Structure 1
Amino acid sequence: MEIDEIILGLDDVLRGNITADLLRNAVEDGSAVLIRGRERSVAVGSSLPVKINTNIGISDKSDPNVEVEKLKLLSSFSFRPDLMMDHTIDREHRDFWKTMVRHFDGPVGTLPHYTIYSPQHGIEKSALIDRITEMLEGGVAFMTLHFTSDPDIYDVARKTRPIPVTSRGGGLVVRDMLRSGRNENVFRAAIADIASVFRKFDATISVGTTYRPPDIFSALDEAHTLETKRQVQIVRELREAGVSVIMEGVGHVQLTDIPRYIAIASKAKCPFMPLGPTTTDSAIGFDHVVNAIGGVTMALAGGAHILNSITREEHTGGVPSLESVVEGLKAAKVAAHSVNVTRFERIKAFDRMTIEQRGKQVSCVVAGGLFNERVDDPRKGCNRCSFECPIVLAPASPIH
């Protein structure tokens, strides 16, 4: 399918959030990318509505049937994620991504090294390229790859931090490097071959972050800053090789440090997907709330174009339940919409419909909204305010 045909069929263009010409120019200069799904492609980047990515996957403590149930439910929602990623680490179910491609109509992403790493052999370059090729041939649209799991940054991080590495994928690459005694991580060693495969399938690389801060006080420390600058270099190298690129980053960071971080990361001039950011380390059990706060702050400042939905289990352990995955998705959706409604007239119209409905019903309790919520008793006032309802006591006059 030609790029113009994809652009003209994108939801953002059809809804009038952006013109086809503006999007085409953004894609050409790398500030936006098109990520292709089985039936629905997604555009991410500057001047576009903020999008949502949701991660699921099978671990050795997961029930595969429950993960399939999560996938089917998430795929059925009118407010379904824009993108989804497979975070499966259980080698017995290493092809869960195929199920995701079959059931989810939008772009599906993976981390190919999750299911090829072994304690005995680490990550073999040939196996990595084969796995990437297999996934792209099978319909995967984008992948997180850890090109910056470099030994010099690891040396800094382990000497200066309580927790040197917080990235699971990046940690595997570091472990492989230490086990093999190589001074170059496997992704960096294979970058030319990787770029060639992604170019062939017109897929997108998300440049991952290995040394993102494990706590709010480590943000913008030496390791974090060094890696972020190196990510920017990798983005430029991949783009020069003709590859579509986005960038991941940050993790834990205080609200006041977000502008400083954006100033460094934005030099990549590509779409950005924060992993959080988590703005306090103390909200254990409420990470989905903290994630929404950090996501709004970063997106409103122009530094985030895809928000990840996370669950309350992020720092409590255990496999997220179906209910908490949906809860996390809703929190991220509210965050993204809160930013989008400030920028796009077609999205403002959605909120205006809710306001008009409240006026017509003479009640602040109305059905619909982002999640098509139902209301048990759609009448004047509500049970909470009863006869003291200010809307009933002072109804609006018709506006002429």
Structure 2
Amino acid sequence: MIARLKTRQGIVEAGPGCPTRVMALIGMNSDVERESQVTKIHHLTALPQHPDVIADLSQLRTGNELLWPRVIRDTPCVAATLPIYSVRTTHGRVDATELLDRAVEQIEGGVGLITIHPTPCLNLHTLSLSRTIPCTSRGGNIVATDLASRGWRGENIYMRILRDLLPVAKRYRSVISIGASYRSGTIFDSFDQVQQTEIRMQIDLARLIVSEGVDVIIESPGHARPADIRRVAIPLRTSGFPIMPLGPIPTEASVGQDHISAAIGATLLGLEGCAHILAAVTREEHTGGIPTLTSTLEAVAAAQVAARIIDLDRNGDDSLDREIALRRSADRTCVLGQEEAGCSRCGSTCPLQHYPRRSGPDSLALPLVQDQ
């Protein structure tokens, strides 16, 4: 199944058989941070290979304050949002009308992807209490706290507004992403009963949403050791829905280097056929710091390398790799874009200088050294 994500310029498709997409994350908690986040938007867009999606994770209230209108207006990227971040809470409670209004405002404003958190319930909450870290989802926790303030009675707030939200999403062709509210926060909680139950709920909800004519994406899984990445891939892959992995981060011991860890985890999940939009995790993921411009661009670059490897394996797309290999062969140097043979690293011992120059589309099929 394919999700069709709208931009100001057209449609970006994501899902099985499509190129693996990359999503950059920006956001602010106060207006003081606005200039730095707008700068991020400009730099992300100026990249030779810009991200396909830019998600606004700002925790401010109105559309005029948020960043997603700039993403729509000033970039060719899909704008993504989490409506729960832009509503007020009073004693832990969320007003359903305000949440629906914020979601509708964003959809009508041109947002191509909105994340909802429809899975929190008393059963998942109770199961999660035996975990190392019960819940690490900011949006999911807001929804769960609202439900707890109501004595865990009735449906969670997203399920209460879903019937009104889906017709609007269908009319404006916005894609719904089903958030992983109980994604695993450590590798010791991965693919436990909580996560397995939530994944089944996500798949059931995805079927419901698609039956209403709205494209859908499933988010999963969070932290997961390599063996659990393979295990969690089975229900996600067989669901047939596009998957947006959050990480997965396959080790707890990569603090300060989580952009690398997440890229490795995403690659592992992608090779299992379950990574269609990669969220670019920054090195600040577990340091408590605000991602800088440099680390945001670094995270996107790492995610793009992961996407490249996934597409090599899953889609057989080696066109860029072949072009680079042919250029290196023709120039007789490992340095891409250098016209003379050799480099300062190897000097006169460079082995490529001693091979005959190759050119043409079939040169990779020829032996490097021919019999004399």
TM-score scaled by structure 2?
0.92
Looking at structure 1, the residues matched to 197 and 259 of structure 2 have their Cα atoms a distance apart, in angstroms, of 28
SS at match of 1:319: coil
Looking at structure 1, the residues matched to 65 and 200 of structure 2 have their Cα atoms a distance apart, in angstroms, of 33
Q: How has the CA–CA distance of structure 1 residues 271 and 397 changed in structure 2, closer, same or farther, with 3 Å as cutoff?
A: closer
1:145 alignment counterpart = 116
* Pairing 1:15-54 to 2, within 5 Å after superposition: 31-54=1-24
Task: Please point out which of 5, 16, 26 is paired with 1:56.
Answer: 26
SS at match of 1:317: coil
1:164 alignment counterpart = 134
1:212 alignment counterpart = 183
Task: Please point out which of 330, 339, 350 is paired with 1:389.
Answer: 350
2:69 alignment counterpart = 98
2:44 alignment counterpart = 74
Looking at structure 2, the residues matched to 211 and 121 of structure 1 have their Cα atoms a distance apart, in angstroms, of 19
Task: Please point out which of 40, 56, 80 is paired with 1:86.
Answer: 56
* Pairing 1:351-362 to 2, within 5 Å after superposition: 351-362=321-332
The answer for unaligned runs of 5 or more in structure 1 is 1-30, 368-376
Q: Which runs of 4+ in 1 moved over 6 A?
A: none
Q: Is the 8 A contact 1:253 1:278 kept in 2?
A: yes
What is the identity percentage for the equivalent residue pairs of Structure 1 and Structure 2?
32
How many angstroms does 1:192 deviate by?
A: 1.0
Looking at structure 1, the residues matched to 128 and 315 of structure 2 have their Cα atoms a distance apart, in angstroms, of 41
Looking at structure 1, the residues matched to 208 and 330 of structure 2 have their Cα atoms a distance apart, in angstroms, of 56
How many angstroms does 1:378 deviate by?
A: 4.9
Q: How has the CA–CA distance of structure 1 residues 74 and 40 changed in structure 2, closer, same or farther, with 3 Å as cutoff?
A: farther
2:370 alignment counterpart = none
* CA displacement 1:160-184 (0-9 Å, x = unmatched): 1121111111111111111233422
* Pairing 1:218-233 to 2, within 5 Å after superposition: 218-233=189-204
How many angstroms does 1:383 deviate by?
A: 0.9
How many angstroms does 1:216 deviate by?
A: 0.6
How many angstroms does 1:100 deviate by?
A: 1.8
Q: Is the 8 A contact 2:218 2:242 kept in 1?
A: yes
One-letter identity of the residue aligned with 1:163: I
Q: Is the 8 A contact 1:235 1:268 kept in 2?
A: no
One-letter identity of the residue aligned with 1:359: S
Task: Please point out which of 75, 93, 112 is paired with 1:122.
Answer: 93
Q: Is the 8 A contact 1:61 1:319 kept in 2?
A: no
How many angstroms does 1:121 deviate by?
A: 6.2
1:155 alignment counterpart = 126
Q: Is the 8 A contact 1:97 1:110 kept in 2?
A: yes
Deviates more, 1:283-292 or 1:358-367: 358-367
How many angstroms does 1:342 deviate by?
A: 3.4
SS at match of 2:325: helix
Deviates more, 1:207-216 or 1:76-85: 76-85
Looking at structure 1, the residues matched to 93 and 106 of structure 2 have their Cα atoms a distance apart, in angstroms, of 20
Q: Is the 8 A contact 1:40 1:106 kept in 2?
A: no
* Pairing 1:180-259 to 2, within 5 Å after superposition: 180-183=150-153, 184-259=155-230
SS at match of 1:315: coil
Q: Is the 8 A contact 2:271 2:314 kept in 1?
A: no
One-letter identity of the residue aligned with 1:178: A
Task: Please point out which of 103, 117, 124 is paired with 1:132.
Answer: 103
SS at match of 1:144: strand
The answer for unaligned runs of 5 or more in structure 2 is 367-372
How many angstroms does 1:95 deviate by?
A: 2.5
One-letter identity of the residue aligned with 1:382: C
1:305 alignment counterpart = 276
Looking at structure 1, the residues matched to 29 and 339 of structure 2 have their Cα atoms a distance apart, in angstroms, of 44
> What is the total number of aligned residue pairs between the two structures?
359
2:369 alignment counterpart = none
One-letter identity of the residue aligned with 1:52: V
How many angstroms does 1:61 deviate by?
A: 8.7
Q: How has the CA–CA distance of structure 1 residues 308 and 62 changed in structure 2, closer, same or farther, with 3 Å as cutoff?
A: farther
TM-score scaled by structure 1?
0.85
Q: Is the 8 A contact 1:94 1:115 kept in 2?
A: no
1:286 alignment counterpart = 257
How many angstroms does 1:120 deviate by?
A: 3.7
* CA displacement 1:332-379 (0-9 Å, x = unmatched): 00110112133556x422211211211222110113xxxxxxxxx653
